[in-house]
């Protein structure tokens, strides 16, 4: 009977430990420095400039991105959601409410989503069709891309960062 209890306990704990360490390892792998280029959207006259983005996980499903070049130095915080082998980005907090016209519901994702990704769950519960999103981490090629909306001296423009992890 004691062996049966030990077997039952181990059969429950081992998958749980493997699951937690796998998710933690994937999350941690998005952290780091990405080197690439910033390009202006809708401004063909401006050439891409070299840039770097330093990514750090600051909370569960929240990253801080410090993107800088010779002409830009900005820090943003974005939520990230697993989407198969990638991680997708979306605004957080007041930025989310300003962009989409409503606050996030703060619903916790169910632990068993029956094959649904965190990203799909987020889209279905927080967004309308056609809502714009702001980037992703490509886990297969260690890439990162992000769209930055810049407001400076009564001018608004968008810059697109695309880089690879160093």
Quote the tokens at residue 93. Answer: 């907090």
d(CA 158, CA 77): 17
CA distances from 40 to 89, 102, 157 (A): 19, 28, 8
List the pLDDT tens digit at each of the 166 positions of the chain: 555 444 433 444 344 344 444 444 445 589 999 999 999 887 655 689 999 999 999 998 999 999 999 988 999 999 999 999 999 999 988 888 888 878 887 666 655 566 678 988 888 888 888 888 889 999 999 999 999 988 878 888 889 999 999 9
Q: Which residue has the tokens 């280029």?
A: 37
């Amino acid at each position: 009977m004691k062996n049966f209890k030990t077997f039952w306990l181990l059969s429950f704990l081992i998958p749980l430990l493997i699951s937690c360490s796998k998710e933690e390892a994937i999350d941690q792998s998005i952290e780091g420095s990405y080197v690439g280029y910033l390009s202006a959207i809708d401004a063909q006259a401006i050439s891409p400039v070299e840039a770097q983005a330093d990514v750090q996980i600051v909370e569960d499903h929240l990253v801080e991105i410090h993107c800088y070049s010779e002409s830009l130095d900005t820090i943003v915080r974005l939520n990230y959601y697993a989407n198969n082998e990638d991680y997708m980005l979306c605004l957080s907090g007041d930025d989310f409410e300003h962009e989409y016209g409503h606050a996030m519901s703060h619903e916790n994702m169910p632990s068993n989503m029956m094959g649904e990704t965190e990203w799909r769950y987020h889209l279905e519960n927080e967004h309308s069709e056609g809502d714009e999103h702001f980037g992703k981490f490509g886990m297969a090629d260690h890439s990162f891309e992000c769209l930055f909306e810049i407001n400076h001296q009564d001018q608004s423009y968008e810059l697109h960062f695309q880089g690879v992890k160093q």
